[in-house]
């Protein structure tokens, strides 16, 4: 056996044994998680589309233009250059080896050389970015804060070594015997290297061809081993994680709706996640897939306002806990599904995730806005993991911010977070100059919609104005609607996002019964949180209704000519995207179309808008919690809105309206900037127009 074959195969066998052992261990570790049956069901078409757009097309990464392009060419370079790996191993055994059928096509050589050069160029870009931005684990403003950056330069060197040794052995082949390398001048980079090596003579080039061939194989196999033990593991498992992610997106409804059958609860039942093994295998796959890129962190409203929560560090912490708990996870099944929605607790007494891995302040800082999920290039689902841990803290340990207790009691006893009671839910209609039917039995046949007003819209003075304006606009357009009045109750969204799954389900089931008894088929919702709950989450509890947000309906009515804006309003308007309307439900264009249809309204976009909109700070039950760490989220967002020079900050969410208006008042800007719901802005244009006509 020639020496080069012996060396090449020995290096390969050793590397594959080390990497294979690691991958087998990771597979067992991830599969030790709880079942996630909904991830293995459904059509393969959405999964295929995700692989094409997010893995092959690098859709999310390309949003970060320069590094995205560099990553695109690196990823595709490695994919295309699999051909050269086949050629390298074939060359070990036969100097004249060519890939069957395509191994002599000149354009194959061109493509191989093009991507080799493209990868080298991408590496230069990565190096410049790292030198220019000086990413640091210590600097909080850096996306790489807390990331393992030590191996970053090593990975760049290894990738460069793969490309350089490839070009060197190909160039040496050209000089040794041109028939060994059939791609002619199409392999432009290889031939350029050949020209540089040509003065050494064919004998030296023959030795160099062998040396660099073996070095190329050694670097490739070494790279495989390094990747299997580093954060660059995502090269292999990101496509798997993307394939099993929720489609069309991991936002909107939470992933799991556990069975809260309290009659079958035993002392061993566990709700939520207190130990890492209580996560599903898909969540464990999330932890292992994290690239530590920091894109989630850079978009997080909590992190951007000096809170301790970094979505990246949460996932890294859970991954580290999973690895450190591997002996326990792999020794035997520690927990098992018990049929009641809980899990049988371990006989051991390991430390719970909170507070030993995840600090309580980290857990309760999350607004569940979805910015982290939106930005993640490998489709990690941070919110579900956070809410799962909150469920454990609330339901199993009764550990949660003290001020949240009042909100939960109010929902349970009075049906709303403020505790104002059902009797006040219809007071907002008293100031209207037309009748709004209040459903006592079933919805009348001549009524098209049931208007789900929501707690804030019915009970908060500022939010009421938006609801009243919406009602007047619908009436003006000839839309018939009724309300539930005292029969309406909190959807349970604040309780669910806080972690009280039981209270959420009790509220949800009661509301579904009410809606069903009323014969509701088409529902209008003003609050995006109510909209999201009824549309996306109630189906899991048995409630399936057609739900439309008032911004969608207003847009439709204006597009169809049933509602026409007045021409008396003039001013600059910036629109704030509510997280649960925008990111979670992809309603971006309809609210803007309403503003665009108002003559004289000049729309100005904030820098952070649409998919990258910045949270107001109210979501995830944060509306009801104190905010004593860092800058208030609503102050940060409102400063950006005021900075546009707009006269009006418009939105389509009562919570956002309250939070933004609070911040405007805190800045003493209420005489300069107003916060209005879309309906209020539209109505103001009509009233101004009517006043001008009357004048």
Summarised one tens digit per residue, pLDDT across range 492-512 is 999 999 999 999 999 999 999
Task: Write down which residue in 399, 419, 434 finishes a domain.
Answer: 399
* DSSP-assigned beta bridge partners for residue 333: none
- Please say if the pLDDT value at position 333 is more than 60: no
Which residues are paired to 638 by β-bridges? Answer: none
Average pLDDT over residues 477-496: 96
Tokens describing residue 503: 């209270």
Look up the CATH number of the domain holding residue 331.
1.10.1060
Q: Tell whether the model's pLDDT for residue 385 goes beyond 70.
A: yes
* pLDDT tens profile 21-37: 999 999 999 999 999 88
440 with 363, same domain: the answer is no
Indicate whether 472 and 585 sit together in one domain. Answer: no
**Do you find a cis peptide bond into 517, omega within 30 degrees of 0?**
no
Q: What CATH number does the domain containing 510 carry?
A: 1.20.1050
Same domain assignment for residues 17 and 148: yes
Residues in contact with 528: Cβ distance below 8 Å, sequence separation at least 6, in sequence order: 549, 578, 579, 580, 581, 584, 585, 652, 653
Q: What is the pLDDT of residues 548-561, one digit of tens each?
A: 999 999 999 999 99
pLDDT tier at 152, thresholds 50, 70, 90: confident
- 464 is a domain residue: yes
399, 418, 435 - which closes a domain? 399
Task: HSE, CB side, 13 Å, CA atoms: give it for residue 136.
Answer: 7
Segment 128-145 shows an average pLDDT of 70
Q: Answer for the pair 470, 550: CB distance below 8 angstroms, yes or no.
A: yes
Q: What confidence category does residue 332 fall into, taking pLDDT thresholds of 50, 70 and 90?
A: low
In the predicted structure, residue 1 carries a pLDDT above the cut 80: no
What pLDDT does residue 64 have?
A: 74
Averaged pLDDT for residues 248-264: 84
Least Cα distance to 426 among 483, 382, 354 occurs for 483
Task: Flag the least confident range among 339-348, 383-392, 407-416, 448-457.
Answer: 339-348
State the chain's mean pLDDT as an integer.
Answer: 90
Query: For residue 380, what pLDDT is reported?
Result: 95
Q: Where are the beta strands (DSSP E) in 103-195?
A: none
Asked if residue 248 has a cis previous peptide bond (ω within 30° of 0), the answer is yes
Please tell me whether residues 431 and 542 are part of one structural domain.
Answer: yes
Domain housing 82: 3-31+64-229
- Clarify whether residues 135 and 276 are in a common domain: no
Of residues 52 and 435, which shows the higher confidence score?
435
pLDDT of res. 352: 95
Domain shared by 82 and 184, yes or no: yes
**Same domain membership, residue 573 and residue 507:** no
Q: How confident is the model over 183-194, as pLDDT tens digits?
A: 888 899 999 999
pLDDT band at 135 (very low <50, low <70, confident <90, very high): low
Do the beta carbons of residue 237 and residue 319 sit within 8 Å?
A: no
> For residues 274 and 389, what is the distance between their CA atoms, to the nearest angstrom?
6
The percentage of the chain sitting over the pLDDT mark of 70, rounded to a whole number, equals: 95
Tracing tokens 């530590």 back to the chain, one arrives at 292
pLDDT of 662 > 90? The answer is yes
Q: Write 152-159 long-range contacts (CB < 8 A, 24+).
A: 154/226, 155/226, 155/230, 155/232, 156/123, 156/126, 156/127, 158/219, 158/222, 158/223, 158/226, 159/74, 159/119, 159/123, 159/223
Same domain for 442 and 524?
A: yes
Q: How confident is the model at residue 388 (pLDDT cuts 50, 70, 90)?
A: very high
pLDDT score at 346: 47
Rounded mean pLDDT of 171-182?
85
Contact (CB, 8 A) for 512 and 541: yes
Residue where a domain stops, chosen among 557, 573, 600: 557
Residue 244 domain-assigned?
no
Mean pLDDT over residues 427-441, rounded? 94
User: Could you tell me if residue 237 is inside a domain?
Assistant: no
pLDDT at residue 126, as a whole number: 83
Q: Taking 90 as the threshold, does the pLDDT of residue 670 lie above it?
A: no
Per-residue confidence (pLDDT) for residue 695, from 0 to 100: 39
Rounded distance between C-alpha atoms, residue 629 and residue 306, angstroms: 7
pLDDT confidence bin for 63, thresholds 50/70/90: confident
pLDDT of residue 344: 42
**What is the reported pLDDT for 693?**
45
Q: Among the listed ranges 233-247, 272-286, 297-311, which one has the minimum average pLDDT value?
A: 233-247
Same domain, 169 and 22: yes
For residue 349, tell me if it sits in a domain.
yes
| Domain presence at residue 40 | no
- Please check whether residues 428 and 552 belong to one and the same domain: yes
- Residue 337 counted as domain residue: yes
Give pLDDT tens digits for 188-231. 999 999 999 999 998 999 999 999 999 999 999 999 999 899 88
Predicted pLDDT at 466: 96
Position 474 confidence tier, pLDDT thresholds 50, 70, 90 = very high
Task: Answer yes or no: is 73 within a domain.
Answer: yes
| pTM, 2 dp | 0.90
519 and 613 share one domain = no
> For position 263, what pLDDT does the model report?
75
Whether residue 44 is contained in a domain is answered as no
Asked if 529 contacts 537 with a C-beta cutoff of 8 angstroms, the reply is no
User: Would you state the structure tokens that stand for residue 394, as one six-digit string?
Assistant: 């609330």
Residues 607-648: tens digit of each pLDDT: 999 999 999 999 999 999 999 999 999 999 999 999 999 999
Number of folded domains in the chain? Answer: 4
Q: Within this chain, do residues 146 and 130 fall inside the same structural domain, yes or no?
A: yes
Question: Which band of pLDDT confidence, cut at 50, 70 and 90, is reported for residue 142?
Answer: confident
Predicted confidence at residue 336, as pLDDT, reads: 39
Rounded CA separation 421/413 (Å):
8
Task: Please give the angle made by the CA atoms of 30, 388 and 408, to the nearest 5 degrees.
Answer: 175
Asked if the model's pLDDT at residue 420 lies above 90, the reply is yes
pLDDT tens figures, 34-59: 998 888 777 788 778 878 888 888 77
């Amino acid at each position: 056996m020639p020496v080069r074959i012996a060396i090449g195969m020995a290096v390969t066998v050793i590397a594959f044994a080390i990497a294979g052992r690691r991958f087998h261990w990771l597979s067992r570790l991830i599969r030790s998680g709880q079942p996630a049956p909904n991830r293995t069901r459904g059509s393969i078409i959405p999964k295929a589309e995700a692989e094409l757009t997010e893995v092959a097309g690098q859709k999310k990464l390309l949003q970060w233009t320069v590094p995205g392009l560099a990553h695109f060419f690196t990823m595709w370079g490695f994919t295309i250059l699999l051909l050269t790996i086949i050629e390298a191993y074939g060359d070990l055994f036969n100097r004249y080896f060519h890939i069957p059928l395509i191994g002599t096509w000149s354009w194959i050589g061109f493509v191989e050389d093009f991507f080799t050069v493209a990868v080298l160029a991408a590496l230069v870009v990565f190096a410049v970015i790292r030198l220019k931005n000086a990413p640091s684990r210590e600097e909080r403003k850096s996306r790489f804060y807390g990331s393992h950056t030590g191996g970053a330069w090593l990975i760049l060197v290894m990738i460069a070594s793969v490309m350089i040794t490839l070009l060197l052995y190909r160039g040496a082949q050209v000089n040794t015997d041109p028939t060994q390398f059939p791609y002619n001048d199409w392999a432009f980079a290889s031939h350029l290297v050949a020209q540089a090596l040509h003065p050494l003579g064919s004998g030296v080039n023959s030795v160099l061809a062998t040396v660099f061939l073996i070095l190329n194989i050694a670097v490739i196999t070494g790279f495989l081993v390094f990747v299997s033990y580093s954060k660059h593991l995502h090269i292999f498992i990101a496509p798997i994680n993307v394939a099993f992610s929720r489609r069309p997106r991991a936002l909107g409804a939470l992933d799991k709706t556990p069975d809260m059958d309290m009659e079958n609860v035993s002392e061993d039942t566990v709700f939520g996640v207190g130990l890492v093994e209580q996560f599903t295998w898909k969540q464990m796959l999330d932890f292992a897939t994290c690239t530590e890129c920091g894109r989630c962190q850079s978009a997080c409203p909590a992190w951007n306002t000096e809170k301790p929560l970094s979505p990246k560090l949460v996932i890294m912490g859970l991954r580290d806990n999973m690895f450190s708990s591997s002996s326990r996870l792999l020794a035997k099944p520690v927990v098992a599904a018990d049929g009641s929605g809980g899990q049988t607790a371990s006989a051991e007494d390991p430390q719970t995730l909170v507070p030993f891995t995840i600090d309580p302040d980290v857990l309760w800082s999350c607004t569940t806005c979805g910015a982290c999920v939106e930005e993640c290039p490998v489709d990690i689902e941070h919110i579900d993991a956070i809410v799962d841990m909150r469920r454990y803290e609330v339901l199993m340990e009764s550990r949660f911010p003290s001020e949240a207790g009042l909100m939960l009691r109010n929902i349970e006893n009075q049906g709303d977070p403020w505790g104002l009671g059902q009797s006040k839910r219809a007071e907002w209609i008293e100031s209207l100059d037309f009748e709004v039917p209040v459903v006592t039995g079933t919805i009348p046949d001549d009524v098209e919609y049931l208007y789900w007003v929501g707690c804030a819209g019915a009970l908060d003075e500022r939010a009421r104005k938006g609801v009243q304006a919406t009602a007047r606009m619908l009436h003006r357009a000839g839309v018939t609607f009724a309300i539930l009045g005292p029969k309406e109750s909190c959807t349970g969204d604040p309780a669910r996002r806080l972690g009280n799954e039981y209270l959420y389900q009790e509220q949800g089931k009661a509301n579904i019964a009410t809606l069903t008894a009323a014969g509701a088929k088409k529902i209008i919702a003003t609050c995006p949180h109510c909209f999201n709950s009824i549309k996306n989450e109630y189906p899991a509890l048995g409630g399936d209704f057609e739900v439309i947000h008032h911004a969608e309906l207003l847009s439709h009515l204006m597009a169809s000519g049933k509602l026409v804006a007045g021409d008396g309003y003039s001013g600059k308007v910036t629109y704030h995207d509510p997280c649960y309307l925008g990111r979670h439900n992809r309603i971006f264009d309809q609210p803007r179309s309403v503003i665009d249809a108002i003559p004289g309204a000049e729309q100005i976009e904030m820098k952070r808008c649409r998919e990258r909109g910045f949270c107001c700070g109210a979501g995830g039950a944060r509306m009801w919690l104190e905010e004593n760490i860092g800058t208030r989220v609503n102050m940060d967002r409102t400063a950006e809105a005021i900075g546009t020079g707009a006269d009006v900050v418009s939105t389509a969410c009562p919570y956002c309206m309250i939070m933004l208006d609070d911040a405007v008042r805190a800045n003493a800007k209420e005489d300069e900037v107003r916060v209005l719901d879309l309906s209020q802005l539209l109505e103001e244009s009509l009233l101004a127009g009517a006043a001008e006509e009357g004048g």
